[in-house]
Structure 1
Amino acid sequence: MQFFPSFSVFLKIGSLEIHYYALCIITGALIAYELGQYRFKKLGYARNILSDYFFALLLLGIIGARIWYVIFMWNELYAANPMEIFAVWHGGLAIQGGIFAGLIYSAYFFKKHEIPFLVAGDAIMPGVLIAQALGRWGNFFNHEAYGSAVSLKFLQSLHLPQFIIKNMYIENAYHHPTFLYESVGNVIVFLVIILLVRHFSRKNGTQFFSYFIGYGIVRFFVEGMRTDSLMLGPLRIAQVISLIFIAVGIVGMIYVYKKGTPRSDFS
């Protein structure tokens, strides 16, 4: 057994390697799960409901994120070596694909359990931002999701820890730590939803749709700085989806304002 055998690997047991990438994703998912359980308890739902939901959601979310990435990187990475599709530990999860898969499964699951979709969404989606924030650190350890080249002086001006600056030196140049920008942005959106939106909103769905507006804005601007975006012709697909998220969030907020049901847990 060997701890920290390389920058990207947390633990090595024989030939088995546990990567920071996986560790960040699992840790973020567990935090989101516990936050959701806290909210579900306040709503009066049994703990086993979200437990049953979580494990299937995690698996389907990872599959959805992987499929989304593979679709847009097929020619570059997978056409010549299709077996690489299964090497998730090498990186290559597109979170927006995971969100789509998660939403589809969530609609099915909560309808089956007769739980209003927007009630569940309010309880779960803010925590997803924390999972996404931690997931970006997995990209950091894999040397992914970085931006264009910058000077060492610029990074030092951000007052970043030295280990971040050191590991932003990739392919003979320093780069924007866009993983960090998005991670911090997601935490800020989480705090806005929990401390402001949740405090003042009186209708179900407000926090759910706030997620799409807040995350969409953060991702749109950070994506514009990245050098490894998934592309659809000349368009960065994540920016296109982010604009769709923002539009859905705004339309959803208008719907909630006009026709939404009152929150039972408003305090």
Structure 2
Amino acid sequence: MIGTIEPLNPIAFEIGPISVYWYGILIGLGAFLGYLLANHEAKKRGFPEDMLADLLMFALPAAIIGARLYYVIFRWEDFAGDPSRIFAIWEGGLAIHGGLIGAVVTGLIFAKIKGFSFWKIADVAAPSILLGQAIGRWGNFMNQEVYGGEVSRSFLENMMLPNFIIDQMYINGAYHQPTFLYESIWNLLGVALLLYLRRVNLRRGELFITYAIWYSVGRFFIEGIRTDYLLIFGVLKTAQVVSIITVIGGIILIVYRRKKGLANKRYLDDDTPPKKSGKKKSHGNKKKK
């Protein structure tokens, strides 16, 4: 049986000489569904109808560039011999932390130029970012990356996984833990949590910070069992270091913003100016008695 296992084809379809990979399709699908979710909420929160589309036009390319640069920096030995492979993003190799840095920097600049509250935009986008990450991890699945240590087939079968996942986890002659799946499920749980916290009406900015903390906690533990990872100083797992910094920094930021009065507004507060009434005041002369 094992000798007949073939990995799923990472190429979805071909148009002449152009190959379209599942990796790109699934990342694009995650971004699209995330946009729909965020755009619906943005309208309810009083943003202009095209605001999010304008932001995405800049933030998505910045996120992809940031994600790729982050990965290449920590895996330079894989590209030093052939730097042209840096542009082959369809082969995989996009680091989420790098993508977040690119997107956040773009969001800060966009909000400053347009006169919007960055924290309000970030809160609206937080569940959508997690949704995009949850779907995007299945692109890693198609490329047979983001997996954990070796396990037996029975280990995977006892998890009640379908055969197509079990077979795809047969990599280099052994079965591996589907850490891509663990992270995808963790992210979907985070989406549900953030959607619930919208009703709680947290202080502005704290939905996004909660997203960063939630993702980082899950990523820290999942990274601990991954076998394909980036290293800092050749020793420490980069994602774990960044996760610890993010959790501690997020908690400090929440406390600091509250103490300094920088988080007095809440998520559901309406910033839109009141609409002017169409009625005109009467200035007619009154008859004297």
TM-score normalised over the length of structure 1:
0.94
1:261 to 264, 267, 285: 264
Higher Cα radius of gyration: 2
Contact conserved, 1:211 with 1:249, CA < 8 A, in 2?
no
1:156 aligns with 2:172: no
Q: Which structure 2 residues correspond to residues 76-91 of structure 1 after superposition, within 5 A? A: 77-91=78-92
**Of the candidates 67, 70, 81, which is equivalent to residue 68 of structure 1?**
70
Q: Which moved more, 1:62-71 or 1:43-52?
A: 43-52
**2:29 pairs with 1:17:** no
Secondary structure of the corresponding residue to residue 98 of structure 2: helix
Contact 1:68 1:94 (8 Å CA) reproduced: yes
Structure 2 distance, partners of 1:249, 1:126, is: 17
* Deviation, structure 1 residue 256: 4.5
Query: SS in structure 2 opposite 1:47?
Result: coil
Deviates more, 1:23-32 or 1:248-257: 248-257
SS in 1 for 2:50: helix
C-alpha separation in 2, matches of 1:130 and 1:245: 19
Letter paired with 2:19:
E
Match of 1:217 in 2: 217
Distance 2:161 2:253 in 1: 38
The secondary structure found in structure 1 opposite 2:225 is coil
Letter in 2 for 1:16: I
1:201: which partner in 2? 201
- Helix, strand or coil at the partner of 2:157: helix
Shift of the 108–118 alpha-carbon distance from structure 1 to 2, 3 Å rule, reads same
Shift of 1:153: 0.8
Unaligned 5+ residue runs, structure 1? Answer: 1-5
Letter in 2 for 1:54: L
Q: Do the aligned partners of 1:202 and 1:266 also contact (CA within 8 Å) in 2? A: no
Cα displacement string for residues 2-46 of structure 1 (whole angstroms, at most 9, x for unaligned residues):
xxxx62111111211110100011010111111111121011111
Q: CA deviation at 1:261?
A: 2.4
User: For 2:245 and 2:182, how far apart are their aligned partners in 1?
Assistant: 21
Partner SS for 1:10:
strand
Q: Shift in Å at residue 266 of structure 1?
A: 5.8
1:43-86 per-residue CA deviation (whole Å, 9 max, x = no partner) reads: 111121111110211111000000000001111x1000000001
| RMSD over aligned Cα atoms | 1.4
2:282 corresponds in structure 1 to none
The residue correspondences of 1:1-267 to structure 2 (distance < 5 A) are 7-75=9-77, 77-195=78-196, 197-232=197-232, 233-258=234-259, 259=261, 260-263=263-266, 265=268
1:178, CA displacement in angstroms? 0.3
Contact 2:35 2:128 in 1 (8 A): yes
Deviation of the 1:263 alpha carbon: 2.3
Q: Which amino acid aligns with 1:212?
A: A
- Deviation of 1:106 after TM superposition, in Å, equals 0.6
**Which amino acid is 1:128 matched to?**
I
User: 1:131-188 CA distances to partner (integer Å, 9 max, x unpaired)?
Assistant: 0111110000000010000011110111011100011000010000000000000111
Preserved CA contact (<8 Å) 1:35 1:127? yes
Give the C-alpha shift of residue 189 in structure 1. 1.1
Percent identity among equivalent residues? Answer: 40
* Amino acid in the other structure paired with 2:140: N
The SS at the match of 1:52 is helix
Instruction: Indicate the structure with greater helix content.
Output: 1
**1-side partners of 2:100 and 2:210: how far apart?**
15
Secondary structure of the residue that 2:75 maps to in structure 1? helix
Q: Is the 8 A contact 2:120 2:267 kept in 1?
A: no
Specify the SS of the correspondent of 1:79: coil
For the 8 Å contact 1:122–1:206, the answer to whether it is kept is: yes
- Alpha carbons of 1:256 and 1:189: their partners in 2 closer, same or farther (altered >3 Å)? farther
Q: Residue 14 of structure 2: SS of its match in structure 1?
A: strand
What is aligned with 1:3?
A: none
Q: What one-letter code is carried by the residue in structure 2 that aligns with 1:24?
A: L
Instruction: Please say if residues 205 and 256 of structure 1, whose CA atoms lie closer than 8 Å, have aligned partners that are also in contact.
Output: no
Counterpart CA distance in 2 for 1:130 and 1:32 is: 6
Could you tell me which runs of 5 or more consecutive residues in structure 2 were left unpaired when the two chains were aligned: 1-7, 271-289
Runs of 4+ in 1 over 3 A off after TM superposition: 255-258
